[in-house]
Amino acid sequence: MMATPDDLEDFAFGFSLTENIIEQVSQLYDVNLADHPLGTRRGVV
């Protein structure tokens, strides 16, 4: 799976819906993005 850093929140919503983690968008209350703990430019968690 690939997504640009600008679209990670949308990706989280779409992934959660298509993988049946949630049934409705209203079930996902918040998305918290953070730089990977090993430093910037290594990824986002």
In tens digits, what is the pLDDT along the chain, a chain of 45 residues? 777 878 888 888 899 999 999 998 889 888 888 877 776 666 776
pTM as predicted: 0.66
Query: What is the SS3 assignment for 8?
Result: helix
Length of the chain: 45
